[in-house]
Amino acid sequence: MLSTRSLSSTLDRMITLNRALDQAFSTGWTGEPRAWVPAVDIVEKKDAYVIYAELPGVDATQANVSFEQNVLTIRGERPSPIGATGDGGDAELRVYAAERVTGPFERSVRLPKFVDGERISAEFTNGVLTVTVPKAQAAQPRKIEIKAGAISNN
């Protein structure tokens, strides 16, 4: 049985690897960003892992959460407000700055084996997606009762 400390260090290594892969695939050869990769916080609680993903400018209907083979994936698209003139006509649009990355995004997190994929829940509030992944009963710590034995006189 894995201890809480070994599960925690395993999760730390997985988060570090996920971050490195996300950074490697989110920049081109010049170091310029190619795609938007949402920032995430991953917290381990006694009975669950909680993933907080920042999705500013994304509507809840434009985000998708899936879980397969212990990999939680958040996908979606952040639309660009540039290009919409708002008047419905062909008015010329002059852009002075366009620094925000828009378009499709994807972020995957590999979780430890002992999670309950059937009870995953997600909530979207104020641009933050909160995904709760309950731990399986086998991974949760439990107290073992010690019974007093009879004293032998041998």
pLDDT tens, residue by residue, 115-138: 999 999 999 999 999 999 999 887
The Cα angle at residue 97 between residues 95 and 101, in degrees rounded to 5: 105
Beta bridge partners of 106: 75
Among the CATH numbers 3.40.50.1370, 2.60.120.680, 2.60.40.790, 1.10.10.10, which is that of 4-83+100-139?
Answer: 2.60.40.790
The pTM assigned to this predicted structure is: 0.66
pLDDT in single tens digits along all 154 residues of the chain: 455 555 567 777 777 776 666 666 555 444 555 578 899 999 999 899 999 999 999 999 999 999 999 999 999 999 887 865 455 544 677 777 777 888 899 999 999 888 999 999 999 999 999 999 999 887 666 788 888 877 766 6
Three-state SS at 4:
helix
pLDDT of 138 reads 73
Segment holding 124, helix H or strand E: strand 121-125
Q: Which of 139, 123, 141 is nearest to 131 (CA)?
A: 123
Q: Please, are residues 126 and 58 in contact by the beta-carbon 8 Å criterion?
A: no
CA distance 79 to 73: 19
pLDDT of 26 reads 52
Q: Which of 133, 129, 141 is nearest to 113 (CA)?
A: 133
CA distance 127 to 89: 31
pLDDT of 4 reads 52
pLDDT of 98 reads 76
